[in-house]
Structure formats: structure tokens, C-alpha cells
């Protein structure tokens, strides 16, 4: 495959001599790149002197497709943005539509959204933590983490019939109420069963001396650089920035809960992965609090037309997804189709720093650094 | 922070802003000409907007509108900066010298809208193949593969 213009320039030393380097093309379809991402790594021996990420292999033009569909027809497209955490894209899109069309969401629906999205956060973080282990060669961890993810997907299957693309959060509420009271008991039982599993993963992987040697001090991102590079979510908090949209700019009913925001210290691969694991404990707490507070009631707003035609205007609503600040910008011209939809994807914004960050580390560290930002290429490429 | 509180705080530091800013639906908007957008954002960065949240464009027919959303972690608030550029000479200064996080989002807007960001370090396509011709998100882009869908009810 030919290199793009700009990627093939041969770097020279300060005295003008050619740099001794090998160019390794990683991907676009390589198991360690977590999707279709291509990395052009310039190596001096084993050390990365320059890494360039080439994305766009999964670009489906979802923003263009949205301009040709009605507001409800866009819902299935949002599932296919972040396919490890579809609930967030569903919710972010619905938030924007509700803001634009002035739809008020019933309280029970908001609780169900919080419960499912915190379950989704656990499922998504387990995928990320598991694959961090996989990248480091600890395949066992992947299996342990997937036990937890599997439980969440089974709960979702009972709730909305789907395990990956839920289409659950809808403009004005959610698509289904809980199937029966047993489902709530199952969620409570899951919360109880998951905590020992998290402890186990923490001891098995993060307490392991080999893991520490492999991940500590690798891919260190300072707080200042992380903020300047638009990094959000757990990757930002791992660098020591105490910021979480759920607490600091609460949306939905998050202002009714008190929970801890997990903050790391060093901003290396170890902290980014461990922050995700520790966030799962907080998510369990949030689920339990939401289940306690939830009252019976409607799960969908009355009088939401199937052909929504919001008034002329723009909106931009954000929420804290498993990867960071996920925002949806909608511009309406008063018609039944949006004039413009834009998804501010956290995975895309976080990935911009990965190339520069890999400089000076080895090629095997590059894999760890790329994986530690938890990219999902459906969301990166849109 | 509420938009009213934010705007009164910003106006305290920067009184000239009062002609440019407005509040709509609890959101602070600053409307500037495309030549002054870099100076405006650089001033906002000094005032505490430390994160470049996103940049996007909207096709307004006669011209293209560029919308920047800047976010402040200490103030817990966001601000929109809007500007218009003509369709046939769509160019605006790059913010990549202020925020490294503007690099990829500006490449995306360049790729899909054909807006040139002046002084960007690496102005190449990012989503579409590098030999692709056209700006797909402009409304005058024609592609026979796009089939109009009926409004199923």
C-alpha cells in the first residue's frame, strides 16, 4: 500500500546525515490496533521516532446519511457509532433531539437511562481493561473481564432484545419498561456479584509485578497536555484532572446522586486502565442508588410525533460516555430531517494525541499506548 | 456555570465583547468575522477556556458557517464561537497553534467541507481516501449512491 504524501518524508539528523530508521506499517487490519486503524511507525531499532495514525477505514458517512433521514430513522445509525457502548450514542442523540423539539422526558425513563448507561459503562470498561491485558500478553484477564461484560449483555438482551445495538433510548424516553420485577432483582444480583470480580481483576492484573513493570511510566501524558489535546473521560482523569461531566455539569438526574470521581496520578497506561476499573465500582454504586430511587410511572413522553419537526435552530448536547465527552450537534431548518448532524466523538479527539505520545517508546509500548485510550473505530471514523 | 453568570464574568475582563455576544437557551454565543476568529479564541483561551471541544461547519447556502465550541474545565462552562466564510474562498486561521486538540477536528472539517485552515501543520484528508475529489458534506455535493428515503410513519 502506498504511503500518503507527507508520510514518506525521510527525517535527517541535525548534521544532515540520514536517520537510521525502519518504517513499519501496522494495520489497518491488525488484531492489536483494536479495529481498522493503520499506524505508520518510523523505528530506530526498536524505538519509535515518529508514529502517524491513519484512520477513516470505517468511515460510513453517518453524518451525511443523517441528512437524508427523519429524526427517528437516524436512531439505528447512532447504535453503529460506538458499538461497544451503543447506549451513550443513543442517549446523546436523543438529548439533542429533545432539546431541539422541547420534549420533556418522564422521570422513570431518566432513571432507566442512567441505569442502562451505567451498566453499559461497566460493559465497555471491561472490554477496555480486558484488552489492555490482551495487549500486554495477559490473555487470561480478557476472559475474566468478559465474564462481567457477558452478564451485562444478558441483562440488556432481557430488557430490549438486543445484545450490541440496543436502539433503547428514544426521543421522549426509552423503548421498553423493565420486562418484569425479576429484571430489577437480576440487576441487583449482578451488582453484588460483580464487585468480587472487580477485586479479582484488580489483584490479578493491577497488583501483578509484571503488569506494573510493563505499564507504569509508559505513555505518560501530563495534565496540561491532556487538556490542551482535547482528551476527555477516563484518559483525562488518569492524568490527574478532576473533571467529570456527570458531577460538574450534571445532565439528566445525575445531580441527585453523590459519587466519587476516580482520578489518577501519573497519566500512564497503568493509570488509564486502572481508572476504568475503579470507575466500575462507582457505576455499581450509581446503579444501586438509581434502583432505590426509581418509582413506577411512564417510560415515554406523551404526544411525541413519529415525524418530529423541531423549530429552526441549533443545539449541542454532551454527556459523559465511557470514552469521554460525547456530544451531538443538530441544526434544524424546521423540516422533518435534520439540516446537519455532527457527532463530537471522544474516541476521535482522544486519538489525536496518540501519535505524538508514542515517540521515544518501543514498538510494543505503542500497542499498549494505543489500546490505553480505548478507541472504538466505529466512533472514530463515523 | 450558567450562561448569564459566564457572560457577565467575561464582560468584566473583556468589555468589547458585549457587541458580539448573545445568550440563547442558556448558551453563550460569540459571533465574529472570519478574520478575527483566531484573535477571539486566543483571548478566550487566556480567559480560561482551556479545552477545544469541537469545530464543525454548517452549509448555509450562500456561505458556510463555522462553529467552534470551547470548554473551560475550571469554570465548568462552554462557549460557542461562530463565523461565516464564503463558499468559493472558504478559509480561516487554524487554531492548532493554540490547542493541539484542534489538529484532527480541523482536518475533518477540511476533508468533509473543503474549508482551508491557514497555517495548519498537516492539512490533509483524514476520513476520505487521500485521492478523493469533492467536499461530501456540502449540500451541492452530488452522489448517485444516495437514494432519497420516504418519510415512513
Per-residue pLDDT reduced to its tens digit, B80-134? 999 999 988 888 999 999 999 899 999 999 999 989 999 898 888 898 888 888 8
pLDDT value at position A181? Answer: 86
Quick one: cell of A290? 438509581
**Mutant choice from A66, A337, A342 vs B, greatest count of B C-beta within 10 A:** A342
Please write the tens of the pLDDT for every residue from A65-115: 888 888 988 999 999 988 888 999 999 999 999 999 888 899 999 999 999
Q: Which of chain B's residues have a Cβ under 8 Å away from the Cβ of A325?
A: 53, 71
Neighbouring C-beta atoms of residue B114, cutoff 10 Å: 19
Please write the tens of the pLDDT for every residue from A302-331: 878 888 889 998 999 999 999 999 999 999
Please write the tens of the pLDDT for every residue from B129-146: 888 888 889 888 887 777
Chain B interface residues (partner A, CB cutoff 8 A): 25, 27, 50-54, 56, 58-59, 67, 69, 71, 73, 76-77, 80, 99-105, 108, 112, 122, 124-130, 136-137, 146, 148-149, 151-153
Parse chain A into domains and list their residue ranges.
Answer: 62-381
Q: Measured between CB atoms, which of A6, A318, A340 is closest to B58?
A: A340
- Which residues have CB under 8 Å from A78's CB, separation 6+? A86, A89, A90, A92, A93
| Tens digits of pLDDT across chain A (382 residues) | 444 555 545 566 677 666 678 888 887 877 777 778 889 988 888 888 889 898 988 898 899 888 888 898 899 999 998 888 899 999 999 999 999 988 889 999 999 999 999 999 999 999 999 998 888 888 888 899 999 999 999 999 999 888 888 989 989 889 888 888 889 999 999 999 999 999 999 998 888 898 888 888 888 999 999 999 999 999 999 999 999 999 888 888 898 888 899 999 888 999 999 999 999 999 999 999 999 998 888 888 887 888 888 999 899 999 999 999 999 999 999 888 899 999 999 999 999 899 899 988 898 889 889 989 988 888 898 8
Question: Which one of 4.10.490.10, 1.10.10.10, 1.10.150.20, 1.10.645.10 gives the CATH number of domain A62-381?
Answer: 1.10.645.10
Helix ranges restricted to H, A299-362: 346-351, 354-357
Rounded to an integer, what distance in angstroms lies between the CA atom of residue A114 and that of residue A136? 33
pLDDT value at position A1? Answer: 41
A232 to chain B nearest CA, in Å? Answer: 9
Rounded to an integer, what distance in angstroms lies between the CA atom of residue A46 and that of residue A220? 19
Rounded to an integer, what distance in angstroms lies between the CA atom of residue A226 and that of residue A158? 39
B104 to chain A nearest CA, in Å? Answer: 6
Quick one: cell of A77? 445509525
Please write the tens of the pLDDT for every residue from A41-79: 888 888 888 898 989 888 988 998 888 888 988 999 999
For residues B147-151, average pLDDT: 72
Rounded to an integer, what distance in angstroms lies between the CA atom of residue A298 and that of residue A304? 13
| Nearest Cα residue to A50 out of A370, A361, A272 | A361
Q: Does A351 touch chain B (CB under 8 A)?
A: yes
Is A73 within 8 Å of B152 when comparing Cβ atoms? yes
**8 A C-beta contact, residue B105 and residue A349:** yes
pLDDT value at position B10? Answer: 76
Beta strand B27-31 with B63-72: parallel, antiparallel or unpaired? unpaired
Alpha carbon A125 to its chain's center? 8
Q: Which residue has the cell 487538556?
A: A227
pLDDT value at position B13? Answer: 77
The topology (CATH level 3) of B3-88 is: Beta Polymerase; domain 2 (3.30.460)
For residues B40-45, average pLDDT: 90
Quick one: cell of A199? 477485586
Parse chain B into domains and list their residue ranges.
Answer: 3-88
B13 to chain A nearest CA, in Å? Answer: 22
pLDDT value at position A2? Answer: 44
Rounded to an integer, what distance in angstroms lies between the CA atom of residue B35 and that of residue A5? 30
DSSP 8-state secondary structure symbol assigned to residue A360: T
Quick one: cell of A110? 431518566
**8 A C-beta contact, residue A354 and residue A370:** yes
**ipTM (interface predicted TM):** 0.89
Q: Does A57 touch chain B (CB under 8 A)?
A: no
**Mutant choice from B54, B55, B75, B115 vs A, greatest count of A C-beta within 10 A:** B54
**Chain B residue closest in CA terms to A57:** B127
Rounded to an integer, what distance in angstroms lies between the CA atom of residue A285 and that of residue B98? 39
| Nearest Cα residue to B102 out of B46, B153, B135, B56 | B56
Helices (H) and strands (E) in chain B, counts: 3, 7
Is B152 within 8 Å of A229 when comparing Cβ atoms? no
Is B52 within 8 Å of A327 when comparing Cβ atoms? no
Helix axes A139-160, A107-135, angle to 10 degrees: 160
**8 A C-beta contact, residue A280 and residue A260:** no
Amino acid at each position: 500500500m502506498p504511503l500518503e504524501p507527507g508520510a514518506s518524508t525521510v527525517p535527517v539528523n541535525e548534521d544532515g546525515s540520514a536517520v537510521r530508521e525502519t518504517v513499519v506499517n501496522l494495520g489497518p487490519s491488525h488484531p492489536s490496533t483494536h479495529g481498522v486503524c493503520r499506524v505508520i511507525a518510523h523505528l530506530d531499532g526498536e524505538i519509535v521516532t515518529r508514529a502517524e495514525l491513519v484512520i477513516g477505514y470505517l468511515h460510513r458517512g453517518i453524518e451525511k446519511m443523517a441528512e437524508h433521514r427523519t429524526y427517528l430513522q437516524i436512531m439505528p445509525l447512532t447504535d453503529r457509532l460506538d458499538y461497544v457502548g451503543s447506549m451513550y450514542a443513543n442517549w446523546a442523540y436523543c438529548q439533542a433531539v429533545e432539546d431541539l423539539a422541547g420534549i420533556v422526558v418522564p422521570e422513570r425513563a431518566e432513571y432507566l437511562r442512567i441505569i442502562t448507561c451505567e451498566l453499559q459503562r461497566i460493559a465497555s470498561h471491561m472490554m477496555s481493561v480486558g484488552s489492555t491485558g490482551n495487549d500486554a500478553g495477559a490473555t487470561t484477564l480478557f476472559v475474566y473481564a468478559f465474564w462481567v461484560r457477558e452478564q451485562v449483555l444478558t441483562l440488556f438482551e432481557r430488557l430490549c432484545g438486543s445484545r450490541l445495538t440496543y436502539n433503547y433510548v428514544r426521543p421522549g424516553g426509552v423503548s421498553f419498561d423493565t420486562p418484569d420485577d425479576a429484571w430489577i432483582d437480576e440487576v441487583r444480583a449482578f451488582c453484588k456479584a460483580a464487585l468480587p470480580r472487580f477485586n479479582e481483576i484488580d489483584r490479578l492484573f493491577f497488583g501483578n509485578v509484571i503488569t506494573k513493570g510493563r505499564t507504569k511510566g509508559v505513555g505518560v501524558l501530563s495534565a496540561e497536555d491532556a487538556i490542551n489535546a482535547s482528551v476527555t473521560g477516563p484518559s483525562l482523569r488518569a492524568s490527574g484532572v478532576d473533571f467529570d461531566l456527570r458531577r460538574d455539569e450534571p445532565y439528566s438526574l445525575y445531580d441527585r446522586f453523590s459519587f466519587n470521581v476516580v482520578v489518577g496520578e501519573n497519566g500512564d497506561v497503568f493509570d488509564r486502565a486502572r481508572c476504568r476499573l475503579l470507575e466500575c465500582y462507582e457505576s455499581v454504586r450509581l446503579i444501586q442508588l438509581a434502583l432505590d430511587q426509581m418509582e413506577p410511572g411512564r417510560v415515554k413522553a406523551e404526544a411525541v410525533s413519529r415525524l418530529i419537526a423541531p423549530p429552526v435552530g441549533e443545539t449541542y448536547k454532551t454527556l459523559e460516555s465511557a470514552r469521554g465527552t460525547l456530544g451531538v450537534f443538530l441544526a434544524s431548518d424546521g423540516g422533518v430531517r435534520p439540516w446537519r448532524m455532527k457527532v463530537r466523538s471522544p474516541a476521535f479527539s482522544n486519538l489525536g494525541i496518540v501519535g505524538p505520545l508514542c515517540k521515544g517508546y518501543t514498538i510494543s509500548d505503542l500497542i499498549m499506548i494505543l489500546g490505553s485510550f480505548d478507541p472504538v473505530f466505529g466512533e472514530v471514523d463515523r | 456555570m450558567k450562561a448569564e453568570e459566564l457572560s457577565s464574568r467575561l464582560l468584566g475582563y473583556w468589555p468589547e465583547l458585549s457587541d458580539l455576544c448573545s445568550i440563547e437557551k442558556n448558551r453563550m454565543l460569540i459571533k465574529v468575522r472570519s478574520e478575527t476568529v483566531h484573535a477571539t479564541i486566543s483571548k478566550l483561551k487566556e480567559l480560561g477556556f482551556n479545552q477545544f471541544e469541537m469545530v464543525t461547519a454548517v452549509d448555509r447556502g450562500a456561505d458556510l458557517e463555522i462553529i467552534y465550541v470551547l470548554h473551560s474545565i475550571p469554570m465548568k462552562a462552554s462557549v460557542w464561537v461562530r463565523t461565516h466564510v464564503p463558499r468559493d474562498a472558504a478559509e480561516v486561521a487554524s487554531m492548532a497553534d493554540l490547542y493541539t486538540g484542534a489538529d484532527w477536528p480541523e482536518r475533518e472539517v477540511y476533508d468533509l467541507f473543503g474549508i482551508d485552515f491557514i497555517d495548519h501543520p498537516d492539512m490533509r484528508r483524514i476520513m476520505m481516501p487521500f485521492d478523493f475529489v469533492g467536499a461530501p458534506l456540502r449540500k451541492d455535493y452530488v452522489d448517485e449512491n444516495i437514494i432519497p428515503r420516504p418519510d415512513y410513519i
